[in-house]
Amino acid sequence: MFDTRWYLRAVAPLWPLGFVAILAGWMTTEIGRQPWIAHGILRTADAVSPVPYSSVATSLIAFIVVYTVVFGMGVLHIARLLKRGPVGATQSPEHALPNRPLAAAQAAEKSPPS
Partner 1 sequence: MSPLEYSLPVIWALIIGTAVALYVVLDGFDLGVGILFPFFPEEPRRDLMMNSIAPYWDGNETWLVLGGGGLWVAFPLAYSVIMPALYLPIITMLLALIFRGVAFEFRWVAKPHHRKWDIAFTSGSIVAAFSQGLVLGGLLQGIRIENNAFAGGAFDWLTPFSLMIGAGLVIGYALIGAGWLILKTSGDVQARARRFARPLLLMVLAVVAVVSVWTPLAIPRIGERWFVMPNIVYLAPVPVITALVGWWCWCAIGRGTSVQPFLAAVTLFLLAYVGLIISNVPYLVPPSIDVWQAAAAPASQVFMLIGTVILLPIVLGYSAFVYWVFRGKVDDKAGYH
By CB under 8 A, name the binding residues for partner 1: 49-52, 54-55, 58-59, 62-63, 66, 70, 73-74, 77, 80-81
Query: Quick one: CA dihedral 25, 26, 31, 34, positive or negative?
Result: positive
Nearest residue to 19 via CA among 66, 79, 60:
79
Provide, rounded to whole angstroms, the least separation between the CB of residue 18 and partner 1. Answer: 17
Smaller CB separation from partner 1, 60 or 107? 60
Residues whose CB is less than 8 angstroms from the CB of residue 77 and which lie 6 or more positions away in sequence, other chains included:
none
**Per-residue DSSP letter, 100:** S
DSSP H or E stretch at residue 36: strand 36-38
Smaller CB separation from partner 1, 51 or 89? 51
Provide, rounded to whole angstroms, the least separation between the CB of residue 78 and partner 1. Answer: 9
Provide, rounded to whole angstroms, the least separation between the CB of residue 52 and partner 1. Answer: 5
Smaller CB separation from partner 1, 8 or 48? 48
How many angstroms separate the CA atoms of 30 and 78, rounded? 28
Provide, rounded to whole angstroms, the least separation between the CB of residue 80 and partner 1. Answer: 7
